[in-house]
A = this chain, B = another copy of it.
Amino acid sequence: MTIKLHCFGESGNAYKAALALELSGLDWEPVYVDFFGGQARSPEYRELNVMGEAPVMEDGDLRLTQSGVIQQYITDKSGKFGGAPQDKYEVLRWVLWDNHKLSSQAGVTRFLMNFLPEEKRPQEVIGFLQGRLKAAYQTLDTHLEGRDWIVGDGMTNADLSCCGYLFYPEPFGFDRKDWTNIDRWLSNIENTPGWKHPYDLMPGNPSDRA
């Protein structure tokens, strides 16, 4: 049974699940969600996911949403990315921190700065979110000092979660050159065999709408 992931290239949250699937070796395929065409706000999509969000994963009759849940399922099924048994709380800690402080705010900021018409971009909001994001980059960079991975000695869901928005080319106030430890850690991820950029892993990218 091929796992289906409802996703689109621009979504860093979908990327977190797609990259975990791709690197796990499980059999999967993307199903394109036309987010910018409003598909995620349709009644049919709300039926699929009351949260109105991508990604949604389907494995036979099982349907899961929230990238962190899909990652946990991939770990349960493939045995990968869960970290050492004693690190399970530390992996979950960074997944939750990412959802709370990093990907959530990076996703919104990137949307406001790139996918809204220029005259509709709320500059005070963008500045506010960029300030909060800077504090998040600082936290992650400090934690990565002397470490190759966020938890333990290899890639875990903590890495697959926190990197969600950090490979995208559209500006949102993040420049990896400003953060030595984050930059090195992102290179470790990129150099992992099988790694793919979000726009190479999932259908849909800004040039489709240009």
Instruction: Knowing A50-B139, A50-B143 are in contact, say whether A92-B66 is a contact too (CB < 8 A).
Output: yes
Q: Is A24 an interface residue (CB 8 A)?
A: no
How near does chain B come to A46, taking the closest CB pair, in angstroms? 8
Residues of B close to A93: CB separation below 8 A: 64-66, 69
Structural contact, B97 and A100, CB atoms closer than 8 A: no
How near does chain B come to A143, taking the closest CB pair, in angstroms? 5
Residues of B close to A104: CB separation below 8 A: 99-101, 104
Given A51-B97, A101-B104, A124-B124, 17 other A-B residues pairs in contact with their CB atoms under 8 A: A50-B142, A51-B101, A52-B135, A52-B139, A65-B93, A66-B96, A66-B97, A67-B96, A68-B96, A69-B93, A72-B92, A95-B96, A96-B96, A99-B99, A99-B100, A100-B100, A124-B125
| Residue in contact with A122 in the complex, picked from B128, B139, B143, CB distance below 8 Å | B128
Structural contact, B51 and A139, CB atoms closer than 8 A: yes
Identify the interface centre among A92, A93, A96, A128: most chain B CB within 10 Å of its CB: A96
List, sorted by A's number, 29 A–B pairs whose CB atoms are closer than 8 Å: A50-B139, A50-B142, A51-B97, A51-B139, A52-B139, A64-B93, A65-B93, A66-B92, A66-B97, A66-B100, A67-B96, A68-B92, A69-B89, A69-B92, A69-B93, A69-B96, A72-B89, A72-B92, A73-B89, A95-B96, A96-B99, A99-B100, A100-B100, A100-B103, A100-B104, A101-B104, A122-B128, A124-B125, A125-B128
In the complex, per-residue mask of A111-135: 1 if CB is within 8 Å of any chain B CB, else 0? 0000000000010110010001001
